[in-house]
């Protein structure tokens, strides 16, 4: 390692010498190389920015197409109910306060009028009165009384219809309205026979019912359209930024190219001397790289030796205990004792992480040869041989299957 450090010092001194020999040359070479690298980097950046801009332009075009398709689909769906809505609204506009007052004044309203008022109560979320029926416990829903109150202020009622928020219509209301929509007596032509005002209201109720189902289809499309339009705005902003960035980068590249032409003229005059310096520097770098690899290997070996040296006392102590006391015990009891010893030692004496008899006193090549010679491959047999080989006393083998006997004869 001392020789390696000395060699590195010599290489550094050589590098310093080379740097002192070629200050102007290196300065010109570095400036040129830096400029070339900068042009290369900015060219790559310009290409990347251009690709991004093109991708964003394609994305914006696709988003516009999607938006238009969604909008057209929604318009097609809305067109199905639009004439009905317009007809209903026109019919409502033709009503006056007198028409509404006339309906409210009916003492014995016909069935069509009753059905319309009941449906209007449902749409406006007005609860019916519960009246006792003819049979005991029977309840009859009376919409006419609260419905008449709804018509009390005719002007207000008409304004409410004109500004009615269709989004207020719920699924529960629609389920209740279905009974009326399916009722032949609720058909606008039937209602017209008994009341002009209720005919207009009936048209409006049919329009609201049909609009609800069209809106179920259109609503998610409009949400998708809203999200797509937001994405389009974001993409167009990103495209604008990318195009501006591309313009700036291309302008910078043009300026750099002009400066590069000047520097390259200077570089050409010094190229021969620069090449010589680069060759010498290349040899120095190869030398440093080779020595650095050796240094890493040696430092790693030293670190391993330091760890072994640090743990030597604990490893030898626990291994000595194993040789002295564990030979007569089973492998399970040995492991328990060994684990207990390690817990007792670890707070006071450093030991290896893999501190076992086999790891400390065994040799993997030698153990492999023992197995080839017939020694069983279980850890107990290997530990027994290690204990016997490191013991100062003659070992006594308990060998009912004569495995140790066969192994001893072969070794």
Regarding whether 234 and 109 lie in a shared domain, the answer is: yes
What are residue 130's DSSP bridge partners?
141
How far is residue 194's CA from residue 111's CA, in Å, rounded to a whole number? 9
Could you tell me which residue, 57 or 180, shows the higher pLDDT?
A: 180
> Is residue 82 situated within a structural domain?
yes
Could you tell me which residue, 128 or 290, shows the higher pLDDT?
A: 128
Regarding whether 72 and 177 lie in a shared domain, the answer is: yes
Regarding whether 252 and 138 lie in a shared domain, the answer is: yes
pLDDT at 394: 85
Mean pLDDT of 256-285: 69
Structural domain for 294, as ranges: 284-410
Mean pLDDT of 60-84: 72
> Is residue 278 situated within a structural domain?
no
Could you tell me which residue, 170 or 61, shows the higher pLDDT?
A: 170
How far is residue 207's CA from residue 183's CA, in Å, rounded to a whole number? 16
Among 90, 64, 59, smallest CA distance to 200 is for 90
pLDDT at 178: 93
Regarding whether 234 and 104 lie in a shared domain, the answer is: yes
pLDDT at 122: 92
Confidence of residue 177 (pLDDT cuts 50, 70, 90): very high
Where is the domain boundary, 222, 240, 269? 269
Could you tell me which residue, 272 or 351, shows the higher pLDDT?
A: 351
Q: Is residue 175 predicted with pLDDT exceeding 90?
A: yes
Regarding whether 339 and 260 lie in a shared domain, the answer is: no
> Is residue 157 situated within a structural domain?
yes
Q: Is residue 359 predicted with pLDDT exceeding 70?
A: yes
Where is the domain boundary, 215, 242, 269? 269
> Is residue 279 situated within a structural domain?
no
Regarding whether 303 and 258 lie in a shared domain, the answer is: no
Contact 135, 180 (CB under 8 A): no
Long-range CB contacts (< 8 A, 24+ apart) of 245-254? 245/49, 246/46, 246/49, 246/50, 246/53, 249/42, 249/45, 249/46, 249/49, 250/46, 252/42, 253/39, 253/42, 253/43, 253/46
In tens, the pLDDT along 225-250 reads 777 777 777 877 877 877 787 788 77
Regarding whether 344 and 233 lie in a shared domain, the answer is: no
Q: Is residue 157 predicted with pLDDT exceeding 80?
A: yes
Regarding whether 188 and 153 lie in a shared domain, the answer is: yes
Q: Is residue 115 predicted with pLDDT exceeding 90?
A: yes
Regarding whether 295 and 352 lie in a shared domain, the answer is: yes
Q: What pTM does this model have? A: 0.44
pLDDT at 8: 64
Q: Which residues contact 192 (CB under 8 A, 6 or more apart)?
A: 199
pLDDT at 121: 92
pLDDT at 284: 61
Regarding whether 352 and 256 lie in a shared domain, the answer is: no
Regarding whether 325 and 265 lie in a shared domain, the answer is: no
Can you give the C-alpha Rg of the chain in angstroms? Answer: 49
pLDDT at 272: 67
CATH of the domain at 329: 1.20.920.20
Could you tell me which residue, 96 or 274, shows the higher pLDDT?
A: 96
> Is residue 8 situated within a structural domain?
no
Q: Is residue 274 predicted with pLDDT exceeding 60?
A: no
Q: Is residue 81 predicted with pLDDT exceeding 80?
A: no
Confidence of residue 3 (pLDDT cuts 50, 70, 90): low
Confidence of residue 1 (pLDDT cuts 50, 70, 90): low
Where is the domain boundary, 219, 238, 269? 269
What is the chain's mean pLDDT, rounded? Answer: 81
Number of structural domains the chain divides into: 2
In tens, the pLDDT along 90-113 reads 777 777 888 888 888 888 889 999
pLDDT at 17: 64
Regarding whether 395 and 304 lie in a shared domain, the answer is: yes
Could you tell me which residue, 85 or 318, shows the higher pLDDT?
A: 318
In tens, the pLDDT along 283-339 reads 666 766 776 777 777 778 888 888 888 888 888 888 888 888 888 898 899 889 888
CATH of the domain at 125: 1.20.920.60
> Is residue 19 situated within a structural domain?
no
Contact 370, 385 (CB under 8 A): yes
């Amino acid at each position: 390692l001392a020789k390696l450090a000395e060699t590195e010092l010599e290489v550094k001194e050589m590098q310093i010498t080379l740097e002192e020999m070629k200050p102007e040359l290196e300065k010109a070479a570095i400036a040129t190389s830096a400029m070339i690298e900068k042009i290369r980097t900015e060219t790559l950046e310009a290409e990347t920015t251009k690709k991004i801009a093109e991708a964003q332009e394609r994305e914006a075009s696709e988003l516009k197409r999607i938006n238009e398709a969604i909008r057209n689909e929604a318009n097609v769906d809305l067109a199905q109910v639009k004439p009905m809505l317009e007809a209903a609204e026109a019919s409502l506009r033709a009503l006056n306060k007198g028409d509404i007052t006339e309906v409210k004044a009916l003492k014995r309203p016909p069935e069509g009028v009753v059905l319309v008022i009941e449906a209007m109560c449902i749409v406006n979320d007005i609860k019916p009165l519960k009246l006792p029926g003819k049979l005991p416990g029977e309840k009859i829903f009376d919409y006419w009384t609260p419905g008449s109150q709804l018509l009390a202020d005719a002007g207000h009622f008409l304004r409410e219809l004109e500004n009615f928020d269709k989004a207020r219509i719920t699924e529960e209301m629609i389920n209740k309205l279905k009974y009326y929509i399916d009722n032949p007596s609720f058909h606008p032509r039937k209602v017209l026979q008994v009341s002009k005002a209720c005919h207009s209201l009936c048209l409006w109720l049919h329009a609201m019912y049909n609009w609800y189902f069209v809106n179920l289809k259109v609503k998610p499309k409009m949400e998708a359209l809203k999200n797509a339009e937001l994405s389009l705005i974001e993409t167009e902003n990103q495209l604008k930024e990318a195009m501006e960035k591309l313009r700036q980068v291309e302008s910078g590249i043009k300026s750099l190219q002009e400066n590069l032409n000047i520097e390259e003229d200077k570089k050409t005059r010094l190229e021969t001397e620069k090449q010589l310096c680069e060759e010498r520097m290349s040899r120095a770098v190869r030398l440093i790289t080779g020595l650095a690899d050796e240094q890493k290997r040696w430092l790693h070996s030293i670190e391993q030796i330091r760890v072994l040296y640090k743990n030597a006392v604990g490893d030898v102590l626990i291994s000595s205990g194993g040789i002295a006391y564990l030979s007569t015990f089973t492998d399970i009891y040995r492991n328990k004792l060994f684990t207990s010893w390690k817990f007792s030692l670890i707070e006071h004496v450093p030991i290896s992480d893999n501190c076992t008899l086999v790891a400390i006193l065994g040799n993997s090549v030698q153990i492999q040869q023992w197995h080839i010679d017939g020694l069983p491959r279980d850890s107990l047999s290997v530990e027994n041989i290690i204990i016997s080989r490191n013991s100062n006393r003659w070992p006594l083998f308990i060998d009912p299957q004569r495995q140790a006997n066969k192994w001893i004869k072969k070794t």
